[in-house]
Chain A
Amino acid sequence: MAAIAAAVVLPQIFTSGVSQNLAVVALLFAVVASNWDLTLGYAGIFNFAHVAFFGIAGYVAAIATIHLGLPVWWDILLAVAVIAMLSGVTAALALRLRGIYVALVTFAFVQLCVALIVSQKDWTGGAVGLVGVPDLEIAGGPLGADPKNYVYLSAGLLLASTFFLRKLVASDFGLSLIALRDNEAYAVARGVSAMRQRVLAMVASSLFTAAAGAVYAHYLIVASPDVFSFSLTTLILSMTLLGGTATIFGPILGAIALTVVTEQLAGFGVIRFMIIAVLIVLTLRFLPGGIWSVGTHWVGRKASKSRRSKETGSLPQ
């Protein structure tokens, strides 16, 4: 709840251009990280394709508006639809495999997407990216006229996404995912279809990720292959793990914390990535449940048992 409240209050606090930019990036990455947590933490699928969904959605939005002349806003819906299909197909193929194979194949999938995108220069702008994604419009005027609008838009997206994810994980569907993660044989014996639920989980987690990717492209006015880089994948995955998996709120907290830390360390140049790497390893070593687990541990004395069990169920089995 605190994270949502923060998301609403953020635009009021961050009034300068730099901090507004920071807020938009943090909020959009929070959407990606928390949706990733649905598959990683709750469903126990170690997929690397998530950042590709974010990046490809940006390209779909850019191509739809620049090459096909689709009105803005509609391209975001198109991006969500395309990514939902893509994630369904990817999941149906990758989830025939087990454990480490899923991680490796989806990792390769991302890299091959990049190779394909960079090679189709006419459509995607090659290595430079597709520049000139039109600004979103509201009441006939460009949304970017007041940068605060993008903060509100991203915050709204995060709110909607968080509401969706919380409802989802508490539903029968969410419980069946957790059951599959914790004891697949037992869950299947109880009549849960492992394949169908996991593919659906991948599709569900891709929806808001795609919307965030499309908004990100509109915000930056460019869809660029940088989005697929190993360092961004690492960064967003770190947000999910540092925040705490299988919590939804943890990755949101992780995204905001890491974005701020990265920004604070900007003056250090390449050394900042070395510092972040050390932070990641230290957190995994000493806080295996993530930052969020510290908060739940504090209130843990008074909290119910269900809350405490969340702390321990950190990573997928």
Chain B
Amino acid sequence: MVSILVAGLVSGSIYALIASGLSLVWGALGVFNFAHGVLLMMGAYVAWWVSAPGGLGLGLLVGILACIAFLILAGGLLYALLVRPWIGTANAELTVIMTTIAGAMFLENAALYLFGGRLKVLDQVVSGTVSIGGTAMQAQNLLVIVLAPLLLGALALFLKLSKYGLAIRAIAQNREAAQLLGIRIERMYLATFAVSAVLAGVAGVMIGGLFNLSPGMGSDPLLRAFLVVVFGGLGSLPGTIVAAYLIGLIEAGSSYYIGIYWTPVVLFAVLITVLLVRPNGLLGRPA
């Protein structure tokens, strides 16, 4: 029972990190980043390449710092190349899905080209096992469970209290009015993308420490993050976080009790049921 709970909380934490990045970008820009999973993959690979003996061998701390720096850059570039040209056009919402899919295709194959298809192993941030309530668990799991809420709490405070956060929320509510108040939209968009990319990168490092690295490693978490944002309500950070943990726990519970292959069916059934009752998700605003 405890192990199911742990598994659910670990995946819930990771989904929350990924999905809140997606939700943040949707809230501010009104576009959806299908390359988000690839950012996660790139974060893990950069951390691996800088830290592991197979790459530069500089240790994990440098690897994580490099990963964060790289993703700020990558998020900004992604925005400038694949999103900005279409912002404000009639079909931005749909065109950007296509451009970011193309971006994902590019980057996934670039990773395949640079690093090959063989699985890589990233060092865990903390090693060993911890015993809680008589159940042994990997220390990395505990770290994920503790770190994710801290990061998301920091994000929520940032959005609630800081000048930048207020600006981002102002843009999400009314772009023209925000512009009239002198908020520099372009810079805010860039910052939103960078923050969202860093969240994906942190998730990538976490997943990299628990599973193996592969160029396609981002697609499965991204799919779950899609379910999470739809389930919780797009653009609602509290909804996203609640939904992430719910999905993580449902997934862990159903793969234990019903079988791993039926888990997707259970998830989808739950999702459809919720959407039939609340078409905008658990805590979403009407479109």
A119-B262 in contact (CB<8A): yes
B42 to chain A, nearest CB (A): 14
CB 8 Å contact bits of A103-135 with B (1 = contact, 0 = none): 111011101100110111000000000000000
Q: Does B261 contact A (CB under 8 A)?
A: yes
Q: Does B156 contact A (CB under 8 A)?
A: no
Specify the chain A residue showing the minimal Cβ separation from B112: A270
Q: Count B interface residues, CB 8 Å.
A: 45
Of the residues B85, B93, B99, B112, contact of A99 by C-beta under 8 Å: B93
Q: Does B94 contact A (CB under 8 A)?
A: yes
A108-B234 in contact (CB<8A): no
Specify the chain B residue showing the minimal Cβ separation from A48: B97
| Interface size bracket, A side | 35 or more
Q: Does B91 contact A (CB under 8 A)?
A: yes
Q: Does B223 contact A (CB under 8 A)?
A: yes
B91-A317 in contact (CB<8A): yes
Q: Does A231 contact B (CB under 8 A)?
A: yes
Q: Does B276 contact A (CB under 8 A)?
A: yes
Contact A274 to B110, CB < 8 A, known contacts A112-B264, A116-B265:
yes
A219 to chain B, nearest CB (A): 26
Determine the distance from Cα of A281 to Cα of B84 in the docked complex, in whole angstroms: 12
Please name all residues of chain A whose beta carbon is closer than 8 Å to the beta carbon of B161 when the two chains form the complex: none
Q: Does B76 contact A (CB under 8 A)?
A: no
Within 8 A of A (CB), among B112-151: 112-113
Q: Does A185 contact B (CB under 8 A)?
A: no
Of the residues A100, A105, A315, contact of B91 by C-beta under 8 Å: A315
B283 to chain A, nearest CB (A): 14
Within 8 A of B (CB), among A239-267: 241
B272-A93 in contact (CB<8A): yes
B226-A104 in contact (CB<8A): yes
Determine the distance from Cα of A237 to Cα of B34 in the docked complex, in whole angstroms: 14
Q: Does A168 contact B (CB under 8 A)?
A: no
A281-B82 in contact (CB<8A): yes
B94-A112 in contact (CB<8A): no
Specify the chain B residue showing the minimal Cβ separation from A46: B94
Q: Does B95 contact A (CB under 8 A)?
A: yes
CB 8 Å contact bits of B240-275 with A (1 = contact, 0 = none): 000000000000000000000111110110011001
B271-A108 in contact (CB<8A): yes
Please name all residues of chain A whose beta carbon is closer than 8 Å to the beta carbon of B99 when the two chains form the complex: 280-281, 284
Determine the distance from Cα of A99 to Cα of B81 in the docked complex, in whole angstroms: 24
Please name all residues of chain B whose beta carbon is closer than 8 Å to the beta carbon of A299 when the two chains form the complex: none
Please name all residues of chain A whose beta carbon is closer than 8 Å to the beta carbon of B94 when the two chains form the complex: 46, 103, 315-316
Residues of B within 8 A of A (CB): 26, 32, 81-82, 85-86, 89-91, 93-95, 97-99, 101-103, 105-106, 109-110, 112-113, 219, 223, 226-227, 229-230, 234, 261-265, 267-268, 271-272, 275-276, 279-280, 287
